[in-house]
Amino acid sequence: MLVDVVMPKMGESITEGTILEWRKEVGDTIAADEILLEIGTDKVDSEIPSPNAGVIAEILAEPNDVVEVGKVIVRIETDGDSAVVKKQEKKPVVESSSKEVVEPDSKKEIVKEEAVVSAPPSIIREQTDKKETSGKRFFTPVVKAIARKEGIRLEELNIISGSGINGRVTKKDLLAYIETRTAVPTAPPVPAVVSQLTDERVEMDKIRKSIAEHMRMSLDTSAHFHLMNEVDMTHIVQYVDANGAGFKSREGFSLTYTPFIVYACVRALQFSPDMNSSLEGTTIIRKKNINIGLAVAVDAGLMVPVIPRCEELNFLGLCRKVRDLAARARSKKIKPDELSGSTFSISNFGIFNVTIGTPIINQPNVGILGVGTIKKKPVVIENADGDAIGIRSMMYLSIGFDHRLIDGAGGAQFIQSIQQNLENMDLEHLF
């Protein structure tokens, strides 16, 4: 039986998707839940599993085709024997001699049909492969993004051998090539020649365009205002240093500073309902749940997966959620529905050793927290015996908020609340 597979609906606002790569060809067998193809949207690239086991009978869309949600893109024959028969029926008929066909007109003209001889499957496959490699090659957005970052032009990209389907260059192939490329000794010096250098013009990929449009829309929508404060993270740094190894042994992943920041932010949002809101015209919509959008840097740009109902999670639950979302976002396993519905966002640019920044609000949120790197520095410490100078692990926080709803006093109170939650966190009773 033939089963139609349609372009899946990948989020409430998603109406179409781009075919990036087929993992199977016509005639290939596939198991249920085995990866069938890769689809890109304006939010994320996703691997799509097959809903049925069977044989690929027909592929109705090519790589780079933009297909509407609900349109048939592939047909799967769920009965293996039937699939084989149908595939054989499509083969050209082999004739050993010409045959005569008499036309039904008065001249009775005789037409000879030339015999059609089908080539062996191995030859057909060889010819197909040659066509794939000799013509215009398809490169995924991830591969093209890495190539641009490393200064690899299209001419050089075309000579890289690929291990993917039909010799397609994968991310692993490109990274291996870059490593070899940088290790190869430079060619002997040649006499300098005067050349005319031209600027390279590269079209944005789909995800980069979406990010650009979203950021521009945010600046055009919200009245951005930023405040900064410095936080003493010394006791949290010491706690992670002392307990990180045991945590990793129990949970299987490292204890980072991000869950502490999310935990402190959620506690502050519980007492700041306007910061956990959105605006529709002049109407304030205060959200009943705290859904934290966590900005994650990926090869194609920036992704903001969402941790829903954070107020219901304990600290260990937040650790697991942060780890899971970040890992799946970077491995392109995140679902489009997990990229929407945030009520407040956090951008941790400190992982790139950046001290401070002024993040752009993630619409329709009215606030975003920017997190800088933690650095040791001399600080004045106040105590009962007087002031002293000590070395402390300090971190800058920056809060960006929509001044249409949040005043400076409200923004200051919120960032101070996060600071106090971090500096006075009861670390002994987190788990």
Digit-coded pLDDT (tens) for 169-226: 887 888 888 888 765 555 556 566 666 788 989 888 877 888 888 899 999 999 999 9
Asked if the model's pLDDT at residue 74 lies above 90, the reply is yes
Determine contact, residues 199/355, Cβ cutoff 8 Å: no
The pLDDT of residue 289 is above 90: yes
**Residue 140 CA from chain centroid, whole number:** 12
- Tokens in use for 367? 């606030």
Round to whole Å and give the CA distance between 339 and 344: 13
Say whether both 47 and 143 belong to one domain: no
From the list 90, 413, 109, the residue with the least C-alpha distance to 273 is: 413
Mean pLDDT computed over 85-98: 43
pLDDT of residue 95: 44
What was the pLDDT predicted at 169?
A: 83
211: phi then psi, degrees, rounded to nearest 5: -60, -45
Task: From the candidates 45, 407, 426, 429, give the one annotated as an active-site residue.
Answer: 407
User: According to the model, what pLDDT value does residue 159 have?
Assistant: 84
Residue 191 lies in a domain: no
Give Dmax over CA atoms of the chain in angstroms: 122
Mean pLDDT for the stretch of residues 88-95: 44
Higher model confidence: residue 370 or residue 164?
A: 370
Tokens at 71, concatenated: 């349109």
Q: By residue range, what is the domain housing residue 159?
A: 132-183
**One domain, residues 158 and 238:** no
Do 406 and 272 belong to one domain?
yes
Helix axes 408-423, 258-269, angle to 10 degrees: 130
Q: What's the domain count of the chain? A: 3
Based on the residue annotation, tell me whether 403 is a catalytic residue of this protein.
Answer: yes
Split at pLDDT 50, 70, 90, the class of 266 is very high
144 in the same domain as 31: no
Q: Is 235 a catalytic residue?
A: no
pLDDT tens by residue, 134-175:
346 777 767 787 888 888 888 788 888 887 766 778 878 888
| Ordered strands of the 29-30 beta sheet | 2-6, 72-77, 54-59, 29-30
Is the pLDDT score of 114 beyond 60?
no
* CA distances, 378 to each of 17, 71, 391 (Å): 53, 63, 5
Do both 147 and 81 map to the same domain?
no
Q: Give the list of residues 6+ apart from residue 302 with CB closer than 8 angstroms, or none.
A: 211, 295, 296
| pLDDT at 22 (0 to 100) | 92
| Residue 92 pLDDT exceeds 50 | no
Strands (E), 254-303: 277-280, 283-286, 292-294, 296-298, 301-303
Strands 296-298 and 2-6: unpaired
Please state the rounded mean pLDDT for residues 7-28: 82
Statement to judge: residues 178 and 324 lie in one domain: no
Mean pLDDT of the residues in the chain = 83
More confident residue, 82 or 137: 137
Burial label for 138, CB within 10 Å (0-12, 13-18, 19+), is middle
